[in-house]
Amino acid sequence: MARPAAALALAAGLAGPGVAQVADLRSTAAFRVCADPANAPMSSQDGTGFENRLADYFGELLDLPVTYSWFPSGMGFITQTLRAGTCDVVMGYAQGDELVQNTNHYYTSVYGIVTRRDGPLTTVDQLNDPALKDADIGVVAGTPPATHLARAGLAKNMRGGDLFVDRRVEDPLGDMIEGIRSGEIDAAVLWGPLAGPRVKDDPDLQFTPLLKEEGGPKMFYRITMGVRLEEQEWKRQLNSLIRRNQEGINQILHDAGVPLVDDYGKQVLP
């Protein structure tokens, strides 16, 4: 992969006099958030996403108004937002990505399986469950569950959706959930923060975290905020806010229906 080399090249390019200029990009007059305008239930231009509510919470803690730089997630997102200096923080960024500098994680979540509450798959909590042998299973192409499903001998059962789409006009995850409701497919294995809030209050559907999968790739991820590579002071400030306000963060996520697990993806948090 070329990304590590690209990250090193960027870091080298920021050395010397340019460092101060990069650090100076951060606004002190607003909490400027980089976000996808149509990534519900995470972020939405109408402000209803749970990452929007978290941004509002951090704005209150910083005593700053919240503003947004909107751009569809995927190719070019970081270049057109954070690196362009139009915003200062990316909410909901997976730990370990070299395009940004990660804060400490503020939650950990997990992939899980969406099924009907009254169906034959209601007790499934592992992908090697024999009950899935003849089931049609939705999964987003290129995500970790696809590998686990194939390893369990369920490649023929998979009904794939695209990972990188313009969510302003396409909603593959929503289509899968509606497919379960209509009976077109039997289940879908989806990222918890995307699926959990959608079925939280649904009388017909349920989300079951997959905590028992063995082997890679991992099915749980620690979620951070992303800042520019050289902005150490800004990262430390956000880390302090996360540490001191974890209970409030968890409450917002819990209310939204985001499945929270421990840092090793083994146990659901109460």
Helix, strand, coil tally for the chain in percent (to 5): 35, 20, 45
Least confident of 61-70, 72-81, 119-128, 159-168: 159-168
Q: What is the band of 166 on the pLDDT scale with cuts at 50, 70, 90?
A: low
Query: Are 69 and 86 in contact, with CB atoms under 8 Å apart?
Result: yes
DSSP code string of 7-48: HHHHHHHTSTTHHHHHHTTS-SSSEEEEE-TEETTTEETTS-
Rg, the chain, Cα only? 19
Where do we find the tokens 């139009």?
Answer: 86
SS3 (DSSP) at 149: helix
Q: Given this model, what pLDDT does residue 3 score? A: 38
Residue 16 Cα distances to 5, 23, 89, angstroms: 19, 12, 23
SS3 (DSSP) at 92: strand
pLDDT in tens, 202-250: 999 999 999 999 999 999 999 999 999 999 999 999 999 999 999 999 9
DSSP code string of 191-226: EHHHHHHHHTT-SSEEEEE-----SSSPSEEEEEEE
Q: Given this model, what pLDDT does residue 14 score? A: 37
Q: Given this model, what pLDDT does residue 7 score? A: 35
Residues of the chain with pLDDT > 90: what percent? 81
pLDDT at 15 > cutoff 50: no
Q: What is the band of 97 on the pLDDT scale with cuts at 50, 70, 90?
A: confident
The answer to whether the Cα torsion of 210, 216, 222, 226 is positive or negative is negative
> Could you tell me where the DSSP H helices lie in 87-206?
144-151, 172-182, 192-199
